[in-house]
Chains A and B, each alone.
Chain A
Amino acid sequence: MAKEVELDCMGEACPIPLIKTEKALEELEVGDTLIVLVDHSCAMKNVPEWARKQGHEVELEEVDDGEWEVYIEKMK
């Protein structure tokens, strides 16, 4: 069964959301989804950018003014 894990990075500035995402993704199995919550506009750019470069499936959703959810499905 594929898991869904939430990673709360609200109020964290760059590059902490990115480093936390890297670590959290390491713990997951292929097929699992990590949902990263961010409210820092540069994390909204560099977290998806990094994850796509690693070959994962990424979707970015704007939840509210200045708040985003990054959906990362681990592909390998």
Chain B
Amino acid sequence: MKTFFDKIKQNDFYKLWFKDALPYVTGAVLLSVFQIVTFTTTGNPWGVSGVFANWGAWLFELVGGSVDKWFYFSSPGAQATLNAGFLNDPGTWRNLGIVAGALFAAMMASGFKIKKIKSIRQVIAAALGGILMGYGARIAFGCNIGALFSGIASLSLSGWVFAAFMFVGAIIGSKLLVKYFM
């Protein structure tokens, strides 16, 4: 069995398809193609973080809450998505697919590892960063996928504005990172 896996590791097709990372250009072309597929099949451009807000609403409904009166979910489109349910949302399946696909890719490259948490500082920074990114993505009506990637692909000026301020945020973030983590 061991020699079998040793043989696979040397196989050029295994290296090309599973082990080595795709070149940036290949990745960009694939993302564009799947963006078009997403747009034509679901009628909406690709987005990631908006789906999490819906997941939150469904979770809240599961424990007896209601988001009917919330401004964020007040549009007929948002209501229709929520009423259709978790399993009928294309975004749900796309996000689950991203997680499953990423796991599969990491495992195929034998790169999967459960990492140790290094410090409480790391936990706080991760939680704080997650909350800020999630909140920012919602008030901007999109994250770097929905607002930036899909925005620019739709020839929307907002995508470019988003890009400019994302750079500002990245610069501030890098300064904080060096200050607190080095």
Contacts and interface: CB of A to CB of B under 8 A. Distances in A.
Contacts, number: 37
Interface string A1-45: 000000000111001100110010000000000000001110001
Contacts of A39: 113, 115
A67 B118 contact: no
Nearest to B107: A65
B21 A11 contact: no
Given A45-B21, A62-B110, 7 more contacts: A16-B177, A20-B182, A41-B106, A41-B111, A65-B111, A65-B113, A66-B115
Residue from B112, B113, B174, B178 with most neighbouring chain A CB atoms (10 Å)? B113
Interface residues of B, number: 16
Nearest to A44: B111
Nearest to B119: A11
A11 B115 contact: yes
Range for the number of chain A residues in contact with chain B = 10 to 19
Interface string A58-69: 000010111100
Interface of A: 10-12, 15-16, 19-20, 23, 39-41, 45, 62, 64-67
B181 interface: yes
A35 B21 CA distance: 23
B105 to A, nearest CB: 10
A66 B105 CA distance: 12
A65 B110 contact: yes
Contact of A11 (B112, B117, B174): B117
A19 B182 contact: yes
Nearest 5 A-B pairs (CB), nearest first? A66-B113, A11-B118, A66-B111, A11-B116, A65-B110
Nearest to A45: B21
B106 A66 contact: yes
Interface string B160-178: 0000000000000010011
A25 B122 CA distance: 25
Contacts of A11: 115-118, 122
5 contacts: A10-B118, A39-B113, A65-B110, A66-B111, A66-B112
